[in-house]
């Protein structure tokens, strides 16, 4: 059992999803492990999220949470819950408020800075406020079991060779169906996802899911934050590649259970298969520039894009002429670009009519 109760910063992102976020927060606040704080980051939502979250925390809103997991949500937490608000435009150097255990720090961004940058903000803020031993990056469209955090802390306290861990991710819609237990990075740059694990198992993996990512703070300090090169997607793959390159141990814990509304964040940001598949292909080809020797990368890119031509044309029924146009654009862009940040994504989508 954990005896010294190392501090954990739980980092949750919200973007136009306050209903999911409130459900997630209610479950997180019921963690049996209680030495933690929540850093909630709003990426410039346009759906009145900030007001809704404030009302929830103050107990001013009569919110009914329609959940598939009432045992993990109800009874609702006693309100008010203290929320300390900070602007994401600050460097946090002048922040001098005292934050109590289990209280929420709400970081308000003036733009949607993306998944990686927002999580990095949360870790930087945590290092200034809490000196946490661990960071737990959790998707807002998840509900957690009460012992999920206890299990992760215990596993890493017991085995100091583990650098990064993830929870076992179950489907929110089908409670007993495992959606993700991490995976394996294959030598040609794709991943094989695992969907089986025993309850007491600690499974060694080489690909770790960013949706329920538990990492030592000293690993972040030594090997860096999530890559800010990608606006959406690819962050967990790049981080897994970095951990693998440095021979750091990654695991999935069968005893830490969370439930995920799979695909919700993707559907909010990208509305069709053309968008999703194009961005995935562009992210991956640019990402692996840093991990393959240049002469291998050029040959691999051609084979990789042949596979994506199949996806566009055969699986997603994109007309052949459009398929070849998009594949050629991925080829051209990946040769010229070294990142896929927000302004790059928006410009490319506009140029290619990917709406």
**Domain ranges (residues) in the chain:** 8-263, 270-352
pLDDT score of 155 more than 80: yes
What is the rounded CA–CA span in Å between residue 281 and residue 334? 9
Cβ–Cβ < 8 Å for 25, 82: no
Residues facing 134 on adjacent strands: 8, 216
Least trusted range by pLDDT, from 34-48, 91-105, 114-128, 199-213? 91-105
Q: What is the pLDDT of residues 137-151, one digit of tens each?
A: 999 999 999 999 999
Cβ–Cβ < 8 Å for 291, 185: no
> Strands 178-180, 36-43: parallel, antiparallel or unpaired by DSSP?
unpaired
3-state secondary structure of 215: strand
Phi, psi of 272 (to 5 degrees): -150, 170
Residues 77-82, mean pLDDT to the nearest whole number: 94
Q: What is the pLDDT of residues 342-355, one digit of tens each?
A: 999 999 988 888 76
User: How many of the other CB atoms lie within 10 Å of CB of 341?
Assistant: 17
Please tell me the predicted confidence (pLDDT) of residue 273: 77
Give the confidence band of 270 by pLDDT, cuts at 50, 70, 90.
very low
Please tell me the predicted confidence (pLDDT) of residue 316: 85
Please tell me the predicted confidence (pLDDT) of residue 94: 66
Q: What Å distances lie between residue 196 and 176, 191, 214, 218, CA to CA?
A: 11, 15, 19, 30
What is the rounded CA–CA span in Å between residue 114 and residue 304? 26
What is the rounded CA–CA span in Å between residue 193 and residue 168? 12
Please tell me the predicted confidence (pLDDT) of residue 180: 95
Residues 94-98, mean pLDDT to the nearest whole number: 66
C-alpha triplet 327, 239, 20: angle, nearest 5°: 85
Closest C-alpha to 202, from 144, 240, 156: 156
If you classify domain 8-263 with CATH, what class do you get? alpha beta
Residues 256-272, mean pLDDT to the nearest whole number: 71
What is the rounded CA–CA span in Å between residue 107 and residue 126? 11
pLDDT score of 262 more than 90: no
Please tell me the predicted confidence (pLDDT) of residue 99: 80
3-state secondary structure of 119: helix
What is the rounded CA–CA span in Å between residue 9 and residue 47? 26
Cβ–Cβ < 8 Å for 139, 107: no
Residues facing 250 on adjacent strands: 164, 205
Task: Kindly report the pTM of this predicted structure.
Answer: 0.94
Closest C-alpha to 258, from 143, 178, 146, 176: 143
Q: What is the pLDDT of residues 273-311, one digit of tens each?
A: 788 889 999 999 999 999 999 999 999 999 999 999 998
Closest C-alpha to 106, from 129, 117, 122: 122
**What is the average pLDDT score of the chain?**
92
Beta-carbon contacts of 226 under 8 Å, excluding residues fewer than 6 positions away, are 115, 116, 119, 120, 210, 235, 238, 239
Query: For a pLDDT cut of 70, what percent of the chain falls above it?
Result: 95
pLDDT score of 244 more than 70: yes
pLDDT score of 217 more than 60: yes
Residues 115-140, mean pLDDT to the nearest whole number: 95
Least trusted range by pLDDT, from 174-178, 214-218, 270-274, 292-296? 270-274
pLDDT score of 324 more than 90: yes
Residues 191-213, mean pLDDT to the nearest whole number: 96
Tokens of 178: 């495992």
Beta-carbon contacts of 285 under 8 Å, excluding residues fewer than 6 positions away, are 301, 304, 305, 330, 334
Give the confidence band of 239 by pLDDT, cuts at 50, 70, 90.
very high
Give the confidence band of 223 by pLDDT, cuts at 50, 70, 90.
very high
């Amino acid at each position: 059992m954990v005896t010294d109760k190392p501090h954990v910063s739980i980092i949750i992102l919200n973007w136009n999803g306050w209903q999911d976020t409130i459900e997630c927060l209610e479950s997180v606040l019921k963690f049996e492990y209680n030495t933690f704080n929540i850093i909630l980051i709003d990426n410039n939502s346009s759906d009145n999220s900030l007001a809704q979250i404030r009302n929830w925390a103050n107990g001013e809103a009569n919110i009914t949470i329609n959940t598939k997991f009432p045992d993990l949500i109800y009874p609702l937490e006693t309100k008010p819950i203290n929320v300390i608000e900070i602007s994401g435009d600050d460097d946090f150097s002048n922040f001098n408020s005292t934050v109590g255990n289990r209280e929420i720090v709400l970081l308000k961004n003036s733009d949607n800075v993306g998944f990686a940058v927002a999580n990095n903000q949360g870790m930087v803020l945590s290092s200034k406020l809490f000196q946490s031993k661990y960071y737990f990056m959790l998707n807002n469209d998840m509900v957690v079991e009460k012992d999920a955090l206890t299990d992760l802390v215990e596993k890493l306290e017991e085995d100091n060779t583990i650098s990064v861990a993830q929870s076992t991710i179950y489907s929110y819609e089908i409670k007993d169906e495992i959606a993700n237990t991490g995976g394996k990075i294959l030598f040609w740059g794709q991943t094989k996802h695992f969907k089986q694990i025993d309850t007491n198992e600690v499974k060694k993996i080489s690909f770790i899911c960013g949706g329920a990512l538990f990492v030592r703070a000293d690993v972040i300090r030594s090997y860096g934050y999530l890559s800010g090169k990608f606006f959406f997607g690819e962050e967990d793959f790049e981080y897994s590649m970095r951990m693998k390159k440095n021979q750091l141990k990654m695991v999935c814990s069968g005893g830490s259970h969370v439930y995920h509304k799979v695909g919700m964040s993707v559907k909010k940001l990208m509305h069709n298969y053309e968008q999703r598949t194009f961005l995935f292909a562009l992210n991956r080809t640019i990402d692996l520039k840093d991990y393959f020797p240049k002469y291998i990368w050029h040959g691999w890119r051609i084979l990789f894009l042949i596979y994506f031509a199949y996806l566009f044309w055969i699986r997603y029924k994109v007309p052949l002429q459009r398929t070849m146009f998009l594949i050629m654009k991925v080829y051209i862009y990946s040769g010229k670009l070294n990142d896929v940040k927000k302004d790059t994504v928006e410009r490319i989508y506009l140029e290619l009519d990917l709406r």
